[in-house]
Amino acid sequence: MLRELRVAHLALVDELVLPLDAGLTMLTGETGAGKSLIAGALSLLGGGKADPKLIREGEDLAWVEGVFDLGENEAALVACAALGVRVGADGVLVLRRELRREGRGRVLINGLVSSQALLEDVGGRLVAIQSQDQQRQLSRPAFAREFLDTALGLDVELAAMREALAAHQAAAAALAQRQREEEFARRQTEIWAYQYRELSEMRLHEGEIEQLDEDLAVGRNARGLLEAAARALEALGDGQPSARELLGVAEGALAPLESTSGRLGAVVRMIRDAEALAAEAASDLQHFLDGLEVDPAKLDEWEERRAQYQTLCRKYQHDVAGLIALRDELAEQLERQRGAVGDLQALEDALAAAGCAAAEAALALRRRRLDGAAGIARRAAELIRPLALPDLELKFVVEPDLEAGGPVDLEGRRCRLTGHGADVVRMEVRTNRGEAPGDVAKIASGGERSRIFLGLSVVGDRAAERPLLLFDEIDAGLGMDNARPVAALLARLAAGRQVMCITHLATVAVAGDRHWVVRKATRGKRTVLGVVEVAAEERVDEVARLLGGAAEKKDAAETRVAYARELLARAQEG
């Protein structure tokens, strides 16, 4: 619900704040007073085209701001969340549109700079305008389908359709991905097989190259190592005296006095540790010497093995761990390729099953549309005919959305598939008896389209998502009596929601829950537009003006005032 409309420096508007409420609000005023400026301001909030020429003379910036209360509009809150628009716990959403004489204008949503596209998404859900020169709703290609689906309450079927379509698209994507993999693998299989054989025959072991480096280093320096190890072993245990003997002498000298001093005791323990380490080192040296016999042929084998490792690492640009991982990956790819035929068949079967499910969902939608279209058209026509369209004929044409090579086969024909099914829905009207039916945007006049939209709005009205509706001179070309059904339908539509109507007819104006009058005034040397709410006698006077303007004779004026009171009283009663 729009709680407040604020406008500044737009055409004749200097500054204007218009508080609004639920129900039906009427806007009236003299011809040329600027009523359509209100419609234009709301259009800007809905994402309509901005013209810098509308900026008030002498100003560089004009702006329109709408304060919306979405606290009870769950559908709008969900839509905002899906679009990434954050609405606080108070449910307040502020849309602001700025027009600049120089440079680009700005869009702000809850104080944050946003885009025109996002404003169209958000504002388009909150404001809908119908005027004789602005019939965007009826002209939209998807309007007839959306209206029919809404009027028939096809939420469950549409949800099933979207789910089936998502499953079908996922199955198609999985098959296409596997087909690409299989085609690539088919070209690469020989290469992969060769690489796998080469890496497998190498019998790779992580850490082996480091062991080879150690073995080669020892083998190449065997003589020097033998001599050095033998000397070290003699010094540690076999020589006279050996390091172990000398350590034993030192321990023997200090051990009797060990308890006399803590520091001396620590030294004795260190000597004992050194004796143990010397014994261990001597044992390890002996094992080293025992295994140091190097076969020259073994050295050649190690050299060759290490060269093979180096060649593979250079060739595949991997270390040994990477070579092992590559070998295992190649094994998986080759195994996957061997199972490609079975995989593709399974994926093709899954796609076929998903296509059948999607086709069933699309057919369920089509049957519901075909079964309900005539009834919805009949109800709409019955509502609209009293709106000065007595010969109106209206029908919804549901046809398959044919596409050669389309993703699904419906009743023997290939069709395009979307989240809305596989149908094209058109609304055809005939406004004059004997004429051929056709597209509403081409057949009906501006005023007729507005009245048709009004009737459709009543038929398709749903509590879930209810934007503000503004009807700009919906009664154009109608007499007062012919406009009465229009007023009654507006009042019916406004029950529990927000509707605004710009009108010149008294029989329409009296149907409003509240009544605003647009007036021009002179302030200094400038003309300024203002909007005031009228009630009681002021409203009587405004309705009387709508009945015939300024009266030259007193009795004529009194008659119009009396009739105005009568119209208002009837409206309040009915």
Lowest mean pLDDT among 117-121, 239-243, 254-258: 239-243
The label of the residue with tokens 């154009």 reads: 476
Count of structural domains within the chain: 3
Residue 424 forms part of a structural domain = no
Looking at the structure, do residues 333 and 198 belong to the same domain, yes or no? yes
At which of 291, 306, 338 does a domain end?
338
Looking at the structure, do residues 512 and 526 belong to the same domain, yes or no? yes
Q: Which run of H or of E encompasses 74?
A: helix 74-82
Per-residue pLDDT tens digits for 282-332: 777 777 766 666 666 777 777 788 888 888 888 888 888 888 888 888 887
228: its two tokens: 């050095």
Looking at the structure, do residues 89 and 100 belong to the same domain, yes or no? yes
pLDDT: is 257 or 46 the higher one?
46
Per-residue burial over 369-399, b if 16 or more Cβ lie within 10 Å, else e, is beebbeebbebbbebbbbbbbeebbbbbebe
At which of 297, 320, 338 does a domain end?
338
The answer to whether residue 134 scores a pLDDT higher than 50 is: no
Looking at the structure, do residues 87 and 189 belong to the same domain, yes or no? no
Per-residue pLDDT tens digits for 396-406: 999 999 988 88
Per-residue pLDDT tens digits for 144-181: 998 899 899 898 999 999 999 999 999 999 988 878 87
Domain of 333 in residue numbering reads as: 183-338
Residue 171 forms part of a structural domain = no
CB 73 within 8 A of CB 121: no
Residue 14 forms part of a structural domain = yes
Looking at the structure, do residues 252 and 302 belong to the same domain, yes or no? yes
For all residues of the chain together, what is the average pLDDT? 83
Q: Which run of H or of E encompasses 526?
A: strand 526-534
CA distance 492 to 340: 64
Residue 365 forms part of a structural domain = no
Residue 140 forms part of a structural domain = no
Count Cβ atoms below 10 Å from residue 573 Cβ, excluding itself.
6
Q: Distance of CA 452 to CAs 11, 68, 127, 378, 471, Å?
A: 31, 27, 18, 13, 12
Please give the pLDDT value at position 368: 95
181: its two tokens: 């993999």
At which of 499, 516, 532 does a domain end?
532
CA distance 213 to 87: 68
Looking at the structure, do residues 189 and 331 belong to the same domain, yes or no? yes
The answer to whether residue 434 scores a pLDDT higher than 60 is: yes
Looking at the structure, do residues 276 and 200 belong to the same domain, yes or no? yes
What's 46's domain CATH number? 3.40.50.300
The label of the residue with tokens 């000065």 reads: 388
Residue 562 forms part of a structural domain = yes
Looking at the structure, do residues 190 and 271 belong to the same domain, yes or no? yes
Q: What is the pTM of this model?
A: 0.61
Looking at the structure, do residues 547 and 527 belong to the same domain, yes or no? no
Looking at the structure, do residues 85 and 215 belong to the same domain, yes or no? no
Nearest to 133 by CA among 544, 572, 552, 502: 502
Angle at which helix 116-126 crosses helix 35-45, to 10 degrees, equals 120
Looking at the structure, do residues 190 and 322 belong to the same domain, yes or no? yes
Cis peptide leading into residue 241 (ω within 30°): yes
Residue 195 forms part of a structural domain = yes
Residue 293 forms part of a structural domain = yes
Looking at the structure, do residues 518 and 562 belong to the same domain, yes or no? no
Q: In percent, how much of the chain has pLDDT > 90?
A: 23
Q: Return phi, psi of residue 41, to 5°.
A: -65, -45
> How large is the average pLDDT for residues 245-265?
77
